[in-house]
Amino acid sequence: MKSLRNYLLLLCVLFISNSYAQSVTGKWKTIDDETGKPKSIVEIYIKDGKAYGKIIKLFKEPSEDQDPICDECTDYRKDKKIIGMTIITDMVQDGDEWEDGEILDPNNGKIYDCSFWIENNNLMLRGYIAFFYRTQTWIRVE
């Protein structure tokens, strides 16, 4: 009986700790912070201990190009398709936050310093240029 109780206690502890330690990996719906409309689905994954994110879907109006290229990009992504493009690079975990990486805005080709963390089951992503920053809330896609 004692071993059954210990086993159940262990299961409860594992369940509770797993609920609190939410992973940033998975698919996230990005929301335009000016219009409130969904912009894309970004898949965040871990490679060699760092987090990366690539666009796997765009939400475009019927009149817009459904498979655009990044003609505003100035690096190796110039004139590459946005769907499938890695826009988050080299994020390093520091406690509950991921930082020291970069994020590309394919609409204007600008690259920002970046950090993100989980808050209320959403991904809070902050892009920086010097002392200025903008924070977006991304919603997990099940």
24-141 has CATH 2.40.128.520 classification: yes
pLDDT digits (tens, 9 = 90+) for 8-42: 443 333 344 344 458 999 999 999 878 889 999 99
Question: For position 21, what pLDDT does the model report?
Answer: 55
Bridge partners, residue 78, by sequence = none
- Residue 120 burial by Cβ neighbours in a 10 Å radius (0-12, 13-18, 19+): exposed
Handedness of CA 21, 24, 25, 28 (dihedral sign): positive
The DSSP element (H or E) to which 2 belongs, if any, is helix 2-20
